[in-house]
Amino acid sequence: MSDQKTREITYLEAVREAMVQEMRSDPDVFLMGEDIGVYGGAFGVSQGMLDEFGPERIRETPISEEAIAGAATGAAMMGMRPIIEIMFMDFLTLAMDQLANQAAKIRFMFGGQTSVPLVCRAPAGSGTGAAAQHCQSLEAWLVHAPGIKVVAPSTPYDAKGLLVTSIRDNNPVFFMEHKLLYRTKGQVPEDLYSIPFGQAEVKRPGRDLTVIAYSNMVVRALEAAEILAVENIEIEVVDLRTLKPLDEATLIASVCKTGRVLIVHEAPLTGGFGGELAALIAGGEAFDFLDAPIRRLAGLDIPIPYNRTLERATVPQVEDIVAAARILAKEGK
Amino acid sequence: MSDQKTREITYLEAVREAMVQEMRSDPDVFLMGEDIGVYGGAFGVSQGMLDEFGPERIRETPISEEAIAGAATGAAMMGMRPIIEIMFMDFLTLAMDQLANQAAKIRFMFGGQTSVPLVCRAPAGSGTGAAAQHCQSLEAWLVHAPGIKVVAPSTPYDAKGLLVTSIRDNNPVFFMEHKLLYRTKGQVPEDLYSIPFGQAEVKRPGRDLTVIAYSNMVVRALEAAEILAVENIEIEVVDLRTLKPLDEATLIASVCKTGRVLIVHEAPLTGGFGGELAALIAGGEAFDFLDAPIRRLAGLDIPIPYNRTLERATVPQVEDIVAAARILAKEGK
Amino acid sequence: MENASIAVPPSGGGAFLRTVDSASLSHQLPHEKLAWMLRKMCETRYFEEKAEELYTRGLVHGTMHLSIGMEASPIGSIGALEPDDLIIHHHRGHGHTIAKGADIAIMMGEFLGKEPGYCRGRGGSMHIADMQGGNFGATGIVGGGIPIAVGIGLALHMRRSSQVLLSFFGDGTTNEGAFHEALNLASIWKLPIVFICDNNKYGMSMDVHQVMNIEYISERAASYGIPGVSIDGNDVLTVYQVIGEAIARARAGEGPMLVENLTYRWRGHSKSDRNLYRTQEEIAEWMERCPIKRFKQLLVTEHIMDEVEVEDIDLQAKETIDQSAEEAVLMPEPSPENMEDEVYAP
Amino acid sequence: MENASIAVPPSGGGAFLRTVDSASLSHQLPHEKLAWMLRKMCETRYFEEKAEELYTRGLVHGTMHLSIGMEASPIGSIGALEPDDLIIHHHRGHGHTIAKGADIAIMMGEFLGKEPGYCRGRGGSMHIADMQGGNFGATGIVGGGIPIAVGIGLALHMRRSSQVLLSFFGDGTTNEGAFHEALNLASIWKLPIVFICDNNKYGMSMDVHQVMNIEYISERAASYGIPGVSIDGNDVLTVYQVIGEAIARARAGEGPMLVENLTYRWRGHSKSDRNLYRTQEEIAEWMERCPIKRFKQLLVTEHIMDEVEVEDIDLQAKETIDQSAEEAVLMPEPSPENMEDEVYAP
Ligand SMILES: Cc1ncc(C[n+]2csc(CCOP(=O)(O)OP(=O)(O)O)c2C)c(N)n1
Ligand SMILES: Cc1ncc(C[n+]2csc(CCOP(=O)(O)OP(=O)(O)O)c2C)c(N)n1
Ligand SMILES: [Mg+2]
Ligand SMILES: [Mg+2]
């Protein structure tokens, strides 16, 4: 970590700053996507970048997600370092052949002759009333596509440092940005710095149980921790930060310490990444340290509804984490 | 189950028979896909069907997976019951928007105004030297798409009965056919019959540990069971048959009985459906009955290689199941 | 048949542009048809102005896409359908839904996420469907509805129905693979579909000529061996006439066609739009070509209606909207109980 | 420039067909170029016959797609490139790989899944790539390589390279959305790519005219505002000439073009093909038009080579293949150790 000057900026600004600084220092880096120029991207992430870098490197595309991902793949094979913005994570459905069948596999399938250093960024998650086709969290699909790395930072600091690492990584990296995080603020160094992949962070230490989370659910878990602390329940919040590679050691150590674990994610429960985490815990050394069953708190197995009340009820809220933690803290063999 | 005449046919014939018989009895059922006419489909599943039903109902398409899935979605909303054949499961990557964003969500998103009774069939799995882009097992993605049901039969008998149920179901159903199963044989009733969704089957009872599997891995688990029986290790083989809906009761009961569980699938380990299964076991009543950590045996986290030896080494073989079961049978707290 | 002439672009510049003498057409159409068109256009306009107002008042949680300035395309097109014909459309679909006969209070209820709304508050502005009214709804995935249209058309074809389907989408959408695959399929199967591109000059912010190297989107019809034509999409009678011909063609079993309705959206793409990609002059210029104003003028100039009748229709439309909004605001919210039971059909 | 004339289809029938006077062209080309073309065509033919033989002998675990009868397209096209230009192709890509200068023993090794093979036995017939040779390999996903081509072309463009990329695919592939999106993108960015459709009349079993309503696939170029042309893809010199012009155009910064090489595959789609979708007569007819036989005849008729020289080249090609196969059969198998370490680049 840099010990340079830091200041408070938003998550969105942190993402932009990582791109801007990497583009300044590496001419092979460029950004490609829909409406990322004058419009600044659907969420404004690339605002102002066109002015600095021009249309060659802030490369706007037609509405053609498959071609965008393919163009990134081909350019990456040529040694460029494309970053693509897929406007909503839901539209990955249209780019999955290029991401999962091409970019992810090309290196192995070609016997190591080449590599595919691309970053695919996309905003995920609900909370904005955008309904079933604009609110998904599809990280579980990407985690299950060997060849892709998956990053899901929860703070501005992590976002900048991990995006820098993503851009410098020599593989396809999926970088998940939660819409509700964009406006959250935090201290971020002005200078370039990078955070290694595969290092979870204990965002809050605790004694009674471990909450494993990533992306926006870390924020909610930390809020829940405040509430629970008042009741003298101390939860340890482990922020995975990168889902693939995964820092098993940190999460196992935490579970061994607390003996209780609650896994939280926004994506639907069934088939979500929480299953993988539970399996790792239940299949490893932590198993013997468990004092209670492994609990998962996740989105309902439904498409995200439009109505605000329904939308809220679909994904874990702070109070849901509090309630689940309360019960789990008392559960035990 | 029908008590009518049965005879031995292949899995492939069983799939075809289910389609043929349903098409005879319901004029709304039709088959759509690439090269399914005179060619009979890439694996010959629809051979002869064009002769009986003609090109209207054995509807050949251009190479346009997204449009095929979309056409099925629209026709299903009109009350037809399309079956689509996606030539290899790998090509689902091109149809995921239609399957996961449209077909799966339309009913909920439109407040229940309509339903989408389609079946998407596709051959999955490795073992034929078809390499990275023609050998995948992507069921975990579909399980994580609320609105889709997922079926993965392991025997000719189950294939026919479950395909009939799939066709009659009023929802999008993904029907997974493993290439290596196509030529396996079994007793199948001539008459129409159906097998309800959500009913796992204990394909072999056993005392020492539970193996949970589906599709081709059931066949391997049963072979492994024979070998292990000689060593006086009796494994119980639970065939899930349908992944969604899932018969939790049967698998939990088996785990409670044996106290040890090995989950086996061909898809890559990380993010595979085994995680979900492990999580269900580790989060439920079976937790207290476990005498050993939950073990998963799955494909390596790599694209499927072409070379036969490498390909074999990538996914669980009979001997791998035997070895894993042997160790697990002795493990314990 | 006569319509086939649409297919062949006249040589020379503006090859694909087709014009219609709307003044004389206005005398051939029944008065009530013309009144219906005016009413539906006004209802659409007021619906969207009300939507904006409700949004500004903080009553809307979510996004919306307004088609103010584009009303002639959905109303003229759907006006040419028989009642039991079908439509499927897209995120900018308020006009299509109103034209297809939606109950506006129920529609407004959906916009506000209310239980009595068309989708019980699950869909919202971007996913309003009215299946009973033959409206297969809106998809939020650009291009996602076009392959579905093929399936609807296929079902009509297989059942030897005489119904026709209109499939609406935007200019930017025609760069999606789904557009390509779907039009090809509809063509080889000769499905009874009219593909209608509401070309409002922009995707979100991308000028249509920045994202494709051709003058008219209708030129793309040639790739599928179907007729393609571009028309003044701000003239409701031109739209009515040309789409009507395409519908007749489709109903006669001659297959699909691609019609490009040239129009313009006045408002930003959605609420987050700061309009930096275009000039105020351009917007002003197109506001001059307001389809409602033009139609009103035509009706008066041609002595089809007097100004009193025109403004009466306008007023009624406004009242319908105001009333519907009042109703909708009072509608009950949905309950989050048992949502997991709704996903799968029994 | 002259090539632009390709873009404009002459009026009347066969609008998009372009012919070349190969006889006179043969006198303008260096002898060694012509000899190279013949040798590469023969090598491709013998490679695939050998592949069939090895397959029949049970030495191959996997699938393969043979291009016997189609050799003029890859060899003529790639023959028109400079050595440091690039290609990307598809499942039926043996000819492309050979033409781009692959070491045939290493290629054969890959076909047999051996460790010294181009992809260390991980790829097989359907995924042979030779990155050092400027060959970006074959994808098994129909259409999957075309968007990747756009990215390669984009990198060339952004680096102001003078290199050109040839992107090959089949007729059936042009119905995939990927084709549409990619050609549009390449067009608006004016990328140095020549898109080459090896139209062998069938997808797997679907006749091209069964799956699209147009005469020539090159007509689809119009959707992207780029030139499109169809040529006799069984005449290696026609291919060489027309692709050469397209390459010159691309290199001059005038953007991409779509060339359709009309040809035919003699063998089934893959080994499971029972050829039920076509007649023996049709196959026989096309075997008459064998590109190798035709080229040999031309060379002899035009007195460029005598029969001895021609047959000598043929024989050398056969020997190269036989030798390579012998070498490849003896190559070591890969080991399954540590495969998980290969997935990610360090
Ligand atoms: C697959 C997909 N990509 C991108 C978007 C984001 N998006 C929504 S509308 C839109 C512009 C669509 O342009 P056009 O087709 O011209 O329709 P218009 O909005 O102008 O009516 C975009 C890019 C989306 N919803 N779906
Ligand atoms: C996305 C996808 N769909 C289907 C297939 C199966 N498939 C392999 S080759 C082929 C035919 C391709 O036809 P064409 O593009 O004409 O190439 P050809 O095989 O004739 O050389 C098909 C359908 C595939 N590999 N990928
Ligand atoms: Mg538009
Ligand atoms: Mg072909």
Sheet holding C193-199, edge to edge: C17-18, C228-232, C257-262, C193-199, C165-170, C86-90, C135-139
**pLDDT at residue C330 tops 70:** yes
**Distance in angstroms (rounded) separating the CA atoms of residues B251 and D151:** 48
pLDDT digits (tens, 9 = 90+) for A34-49: 999 999 999 999 999 9
Question: How many whole angstroms from its chain centre is CA A210?
Answer: 19
pLDDT value of residue D15? 53
pLDDT value of residue C291? 98
Nearest ligand for residue B102 CA: 1
DSSP-based three-state secondary structure for D170: strand
Contact D224 C213 (CB under 8 A): yes
A134 is catalytic: yes
What is the Å distance from ligand 3's center to C92 Cα?
9
Instruction: Look up residue A88 and give its DSSP letter.
Output: S
Kindly list the residues from chain D whose CB atom is less than 8 angstroms away from the CB atom of residue B131: 62, 122-124, 126-127, 140
**pLDDT at residue C14 tops 50:** no
Contact B105 A146 (CB under 8 A): no
Question: How many whole angstroms from its chain centre is CA B206?
Answer: 23
Q: What percent of chain A has pLDDT over 70?
A: 99
**Distance in angstroms (rounded) separating the CA atoms of residues C92 and B276:** 39
**pTM exceeding the 0.95 threshold for the entire prediction:** yes
pLDDT value of residue C272? 81
DSSP string for A247-313: -HHHHHHHHHHHS-EEEEEEEESTTSHHHHHHHHHHTSGGGGG-SS--EEEEE-SSPPPSSHHHHHH
- Residue C202 beta carbon below 6 angstroms from any ligand 1 atom: yes
**pLDDT at residue C294 tops 60:** yes
Domains of chain A as residue ranges with CATH: 9-189 (3.40.50.970), 201-330 (3.40.50.920)
Buried b (16+ CB within 10 A) or exposed e, C44-72: bbbbbebbbebbeeeebbbbbbbbbbbbb
pLDDT digits (tens, 9 = 90+) for B287-300: 999 999 999 999 99
Per-residue CA distances from C310 to A115, C95, C287, C307 (Å): 66, 19, 19, 5
Ligand 1 atom closest to residue C65's alpha carbon, by position in its atom list = 19
Ligand 2 atom closest to residue A97's alpha carbon, by position in its atom list = 1
CA distance C15 to chain A (A): 24
Contact D140 B301 (CB under 8 A): no
Kindly list the residues from chain B whose CB atom is less than 8 angstroms away from the CB atom of residue A141: 140-141, 144, 271
Residue nearest to atom 3 of ligand 2 (CA): D142
Percent of residues in chain D assigned helix, strand, coil, to nearest 5: 50, 10, 40
Question: How many whole angstroms from its chain centre is CA D98?
Answer: 9
Contact C343 B62 (CB under 8 A): no
pLDDT value of residue D271? 83
DSSP string for C80-125: TS-TT-EEEEESS-HHHHHHTT--HHHHHHHHTT-TTSTTTTSS-G
**pLDDT at residue B98 tops 90:** yes
pLDDT digits (tens, 9 = 90+) for A249-263: 999 999 999 999 999
pLDDT value of residue C11? 37
pLDDT value of residue D11? 37
**pLDDT at residue C8 tops 70:** no
Tell me if C9 is assigned to some domain: no
- Residue C172 beta carbon below 6 angstroms from any ligand 1 atom: yes
Q: Is A146 on the interface with D (CB under 8 A)?
A: yes
**pLDDT at residue A304 tops 50:** yes
**pLDDT at residue B2 tops 80:** no
**Distance in angstroms (rounded) separating the CA atoms of residues B44 and D273:** 10
What number of other Cβ atoms are within 10 A of residue A327's Cβ?
12
**pLDDT at residue A2 tops 80:** no
**pLDDT at residue D10 tops 50:** no
Ligand 2: lining residues by beta carbon, under 6 Å = B 34, 63, 65, 87, 91, 94; D 65, 91-92, 140-142, 169-173, 200, 202-204, 269
**Distance in angstroms (rounded) separating the CA atoms of residues C238 and C80:** 11
Reply yes or no: is the peptide bond before residue B245 cis, omega within 30 of 0. yes
**pLDDT at residue A333 tops 80:** no
Question: How many whole angstroms from its chain centre is CA B222?
Answer: 17
DSSP-based three-state secondary structure for D198: strand
**pLDDT at residue A192 tops 90:** yes
**Distance in angstroms (rounded) separating the CA atoms of residues A76 and A171:** 9
Question: How many whole angstroms from its chain centre is CA C270?
Answer: 17
Tell me if C338 is assigned to some domain: no
Do strands B58-60 and B119-124 pair parallel, antiparallel, or not at all (unpaired)?
A: unpaired
Kindly list the residues from chain A whose CB atom is less than 8 angstroms away from the CB atom of residue B270: 143-144, 146, 244, 276
Q: Which residues in chain C (106-135) have CB-CB distances under 8 A to chain A?
A: 113-114, 119, 121-124, 126-127
**A22 compared with B284, residue with greater pLDDT:** A22
Contact D225 C214 (CB under 8 A): yes
- Residue A87 beta carbon below 6 angstroms from any ligand 1 atom: yes
Question: Chains A, C: CB contacts under 8 A, how many?
Answer: 134
Average of per-residue pLDDT values in chain D: 95
pLDDT value of residue C15? 53
DSSP-based three-state secondary structure for C175: helix
CA distance D56 to chain A (A): 25
**How many structural domains comprise chain D?**
1
Q: Which chains touch B (3 or more CB pairs under 8 A)?
A: A, C, D
- Considering only the beta carbons, identify the residue of A80, A110, A147 that sits closest to D155: A80
Tell me if C337 is assigned to some domain: no
Residue numbers of the domain that contains C291:
15-328
pLDDT digits (tens, 9 = 90+) for D41-85: 999 999 999 999 999 999 999 989 999 999 999 999 999 999 999
CA distance D186 to chain A (A): 10
pLDDT value of residue D16? 79
- Residue C91 beta carbon below 6 angstroms from any ligand 1 atom: yes
pLDDT value of residue C16? 79
Contact B171 C345 (CB under 8 A): yes
**Distance in angstroms (rounded) separating the CA atoms of residues C217 and C221:** 8
Q: Is A244 on the interface with D (CB under 8 A)?
A: no
- Residue A34 beta carbon below 6 angstroms from any ligand 1 atom: yes
**Distance in angstroms (rounded) separating the CA atoms of residues C177 and C144:** 10
Q: Is A150 on the interface with B (CB under 8 A)?
A: no
What is the Å distance from ligand 3's center to D188 Cα?
18
In the structure encoding, which two tokens stand for residue A144, read together? 């299950």
Kindly list the residues from chain B whose CB atom is less than 8 angstroms away from the CB atom of residue A94: 96-97
What number of other Cβ atoms are within 10 A of residue A191's Cβ?
11
Tell me if D337 is assigned to some domain: no
Tell me if C252 is assigned to some domain: yes
Buried b (16+ CB within 10 A) or exposed e, A106-122: bbbbbbebbbbbbbbbb
For range B110-138, the mean pLDDT: 98
pLDDT value of residue C147? 98
**Distance in angstroms (rounded) separating the CA atoms of residues C228 and B177:** 42
DSSP-based three-state secondary structure for C231: strand
Tell me if C314 is assigned to some domain: yes
Nearest ligand for residue C262 CA: 3
**pLDDT at residue A9 tops 60:** yes
**pLDDT at residue B332 tops 80:** no
Q: Is D83 on the interface with A (CB under 8 A)?
A: no
Average of per-residue pLDDT values in chain B: 97
Tell me if C274 is assigned to some domain: yes
**One-letter-per-residue 3-state SS of chain B:** CCCCCEEEEEHHHHHHHHHHHHHHHCCCEEEEECCCCCCCCCCCCCCCHHHHHHHHHEEECCCCHHHHHHHHHHHHHCCCEEEEECCCHHHHHHCHHHHHHHHHHHHHHCCCCCCCCCEEEEEECCCCCCCCCCCCCCHHHHHCCCCCEEECCCCHHHHHHHHHHHHHCCCCEEEEEEHHHCCCEEEEECCCCCCCCCCCEEEECCCCEEEEECCHHHHHHHHHHHHHHHCCCCEEEEECCEEECCCHHHHHHHHHHHCCEEEEEEEECCCCHHHHHHHHHHCCHHHHHCCCCCEEEEECCCCCCCCHHHHHHHCCCHHHHHHHHHHHHHCCC
**Angle between helix A11-25 and A156-168 (nearest 10):** 30
For residue D12, give every residue at least 6 positions away whose Cβ sits within 8 Å of its Cβ, in sequence order, or none.
Answer: none
What is the Å distance from ligand 2's center to D65 Cα?
10
pLDDT digits (tens, 9 = 90+) for C165-175: 999 999 999 99
> Is residue D262 within 8 Å of D234, Cβ to Cβ?
yes
Size (chain D), residues: 346
Tell me if D201 is assigned to some domain: yes
In the structure encoding, which two tokens stand for residue C313, read together? 């229709």
**Distance in angstroms (rounded) separating the CA atoms of residues B12 and D69:** 34
Which domain CATH number covers D268? 3.40.50.970
Contact B306 D63 (CB under 8 A): no
- Considering only the beta carbons, identify the residue of C203, C276, C343 that sits closest to A301: C343
Instruction: Look up residue D215 and give its DSSP letter.
Output: S
